[in-house]
Amino acid sequence: MDLKALLSSLNDFASLSFAESWDNVGLLVEPSPPHTVNTLFLTNDLTEEVMEEALQKKADFILSYHPPIFRPMKRITWKTWKERLVIRALENRVAVYSPHTAYDAAPQGVNNWLAKGLGVCTSRPILPSKALNYPTEGTHRVEFNVDHTQDLDKVIATVKGISGVSVTSFSARTDDEEQTRISLNCSQQALVQVVAFLSQNSELYQKTEILSLEKPLLLHTGMGRLCTLDEPVSLATMIERIKRHLKLAHIRLALGVGRTLASQVKVVALCAGSGSSVLQGAEADLYFTGEMSHHDILDVASQGINVILCEHSNTERGFLSDLQDMLSAHLENKVKIILSEIDRDPLQVV
C-alpha cells in the first residue's frame, strides 16, 4: 500500500484533528518517496528494543501510539536514543507515525476501550471535542434592523463590500412597524470593519446584536469518559474487573475519605495515561487513570472519591489488540499488521 494512501486511510479511521493542540501527531519520519508499506507494526512506545524487533519483522511502517519525537531536535546524531531511532528508521526505510491523543478522543479509541472493562455502562466524553469548522461561514453573527427611513440598498451594499462577510435579509416587524432584518456572518477580522460601519449610524448601532458562533461538539468524541454503570458494584468488584481487563496482578488504590472496599461505585471518570487535567472536577465515585500526582490524589480523596492508578501505559497498551483487528478491517487486509511482543510499561512491582 502506498504510504500516502495509507496515511489518508488512517486519517479516515481517526482524524488527526481530534488530537490536542500541544501534541505531536501524524507522520514523524518519512523515507524518501516512493514508499510502499507491506507490514505495519504496532507499539505503544517505540524504544530501541522495540525498533530492533520491528526491523527483525521486516516492518516498513511503525505506528507508535506515543510519539517518539515530541520535543524539537536540533541535531540527529548517535548520542541519544531518540536520535538513534530516527537514524535507524531512515537507514532501514521505515516510516514512523503516531496518533496519540487523536486515538484518545476517537469514538472507537483508547478511552472507549478502557471503559469496556467496567461492565455494562453508558459513557460520554468528559471534555468533548469540537468540529474542525464552524457550521456556517465566519466566527460571528451580527444582526440589526433597518427601517423604511434608512437606505436599505446602501446598507446592504456597504456590508457586502467587506471581505469575509455573507449577508441575508428578511422581513421583520418591530412595534407594529415593517422593517428589514439584516443578518451577517463574518470573520473575526471582518467583524471589526462591520462594527466600525454600524457605529457611524447610532440608530443601527443601538439595535445591533453580536453573537459568537461556536463550533459544534462531536458526538462520542473527546478526552476521557464519564461512565455510568447500569448496576452499581462494590469498589472491590470494580478493582477485580479492572485488573482482569488490563491483565494486571496489582493496581494502586487511594480510598476516598469515608470509603471502604465495600463502598458502591456507580459513576466512573476515566482517562488513559495521565488523567489529572481531564478528570479534574468530574463528579464520580471513582477516578481511574494511569498516573496522577501525589497532591492531586490527596485533593480527590478528600472529596470522598476513590482513585485507581495502573501506571501510564498499562491503561493504553491493551487497546492495540483491538486496534490491530479494526485496522485490518479498515485497510481491507491490504497491509500485514503485527503487534509488538516486547513493548511493555517501564515500571514493574518487585
Topology classification of domain 3-100+317-339: 3.40.1390
Q: What pLDDT is recorded for position 101?
A: 98
Q: Residue 184: helix, strand or coil by DSSP?
A: strand
316 annotated to bind ligand: yes
Shortest CA distance to 180 belongs to which of 143, 140, 138, 137?
A: 143
Q: What is the pLDDT of residue 252?
A: 97
140-212, what's its fold? Alpha-Beta Plaits (3.30.70)
Percentage of residues in the chain with pLDDT exceeding 70? Answer: 99
Give the chain's residues under pLDDT 50: none
As annotated, the residues of the chain forming the CATH 3.40.1390.30 domain(s) are: 3-100+317-339, 110-129+220-311
- Helix, coil or strand: residue 165: strand
Sheet holding 252-254, edge to edge: 121-124, 225-234, 264-274, 286-291, 306-309, 252-254
CA 267/CA 49 separation, integer angstroms? 39
Is residue 294 a known part of a binding site? no
Distance CA 306, CA 25 (A): 33
- CATH 3.30.70.120 domain residues, the chain: 140-212
Q: Which spans in the chain are helix H?
A: 3-13, 48-56, 81-91, 101-105, 110-115, 152-160, 188-198, 202-206, 235-246, 276-279, 294-302, 319-330
Query: Is the separation of the CB atoms in 42 and 323 below 8 Å?
Result: yes
Angle at 341 between CA 339 and CA 346, to 5 degrees: 115
pLDDT, residue 133, reads 78
Please tell me the predicted confidence (pLDDT) of residue 100: 98
The pLDDT tens digits of the residues spanning 20-56 come to 999 999 999 999 999 999 999 999 999 999 999 999 9
| The CATH number of domain 110-129+220-311 is 3.40.1390.30 | yes
